[in-house]
Amino acid sequence: MSNQIAINGRYTQRRPTGVERYAYEIGVRLPQGSRILAPGKPLGQIAGNMWEQFVLARRLRSAEVLWSPANSGPWSVARQALVLHDASPLDHPEWFRPAFASWVRLSWRILVRSVALVITPSQFSSERLQIKLGLPKERIRVIPGGVGKPFGPVSRKKILEIREKYGLPKSYFLFVGTQEPRKNLVGLFKAWDQIRAKIPQQALVLVGSAGAVFRGRGYGSMPPGVHPLGYIPEADLPAVYCAAYALVLPSLYEGFGLSVLEAMACGTPVITSNHGSLPEIAAEAAMLVDPLEPSNIAAAMSQLSADRSLCQKLSAQGLERAATFGWDNAAAKTRLSLDTL
């Protein structure tokens, strides 16, 4: 018999990025009758944490198991599956605002000793969480995220519409992600400075805004030829991927790397990092680069610009790879995990 499920819906009041997309896609696939418990309005970090600890915990019914999908949850609820997407605040607290990093260190250490199960989206994150939190292997489960609609090939008409709407260049490399230190925009910009004169037909487009919990954007000035678009609504994002020559995500650290799968699902070739979970997610379907070596990033961009057959190969491999990551499968594994609590 399936457990009754309550969903920690704090994420529903935030602008959607990778964590919120994961929470939404799995949440809508949990059994009918699952209750979403959410604050009535957007809350800041402190107010949101207090809501989880003092309001959410009291609203649970005794028969319910709680699924907390977005890196936080109430300390007092033992029948809880907590999703920790990566260990970056523990591995690299210098990337985050000091108050946030301190809170995460305290909260996560309490949570992993009280909750019944921790879920994480990659083997890389599982290993880092075990090391940093002393978490026994049997109390952590790897359930990768997925990709699906609306991410996929779009019509030529839609691409032309989005090109005009955002003033997109004719041909461009694309970065998608929150502007934060671990995304390694400083390395990408150094690579772009090295290569842009050699590939004048290309531009570099950035999608994503700064995050509230990070210590800055992770770079100083922006070089010529870069087009920052800021945050783009999800409805427009597939066409931005499809119009791109390739995605470049040279992150220093990722717990999953959802934008890699989104690009692949759209048939867009991918250049990404050989650090963190990204080799695990991309496998053989992307060009892997050393993010600490801007010349390595530049060389991959140059090679891809000159080799259309390589682009076509990566596009086909990416579509195949993305098809192995489905939200239905991720939700089914989550349901089974919740039923064990």
What is the pTM assigned to this prediction?
0.93
CATH superfamily, domain at 156-322: Glycogen Phosphorylase B; (3.40.50.2000)
Split at pLDDT 50, 70, 90, the class of 89 is: very high
**Using CA atoms, how far apart are residues 74 and 57, in angstroms rounded to an integer?**
6
CATH fold match for the domains 4-146+326-339 and 156-322: yes
Who's near 39: CB < 8 A, 6+ residues apart?
Answer: 9, 10, 13, 48, 51, 55
Query: Coil, helix or strand for 185?
Result: helix
pLDDT digits (tens, 9 = 90+) for 285-333: 999 999 999 999 999 999 999 999 999 999 999 999 999 999 999 999 9
The domain limits of the chain are 4-146+326-339, 156-322
- Whether 255 and 277 have beta carbons less than 8 Å apart is answered as yes
Dihedral angle, C-alpha 208, 209, 210, 211, nearest 10 °: -80
Q: What is the pLDDT of residue 212?
A: 57
Query: Coil, helix or strand for 82?
Result: strand
Q: What is the pLDDT of residue 178?
A: 85
Q: What is the pLDDT of residue 215?
A: 55
Token code pair at residue 11: 């994420």
Handedness of CA 89, 93, 94, 100 (dihedral sign): positive
Domain 4-146+326-339 of CATH type 3.30.420.40 = no
pLDDT over threshold 60, residue 66 = yes
Of the candidates 188, 191, 193, 194, which has an alpha carbon nearest to the alpha carbon of residue 207?
Answer: 188
pLDDT digits (tens, 9 = 90+) for 90-108: 999 998 889 999 999 999 9
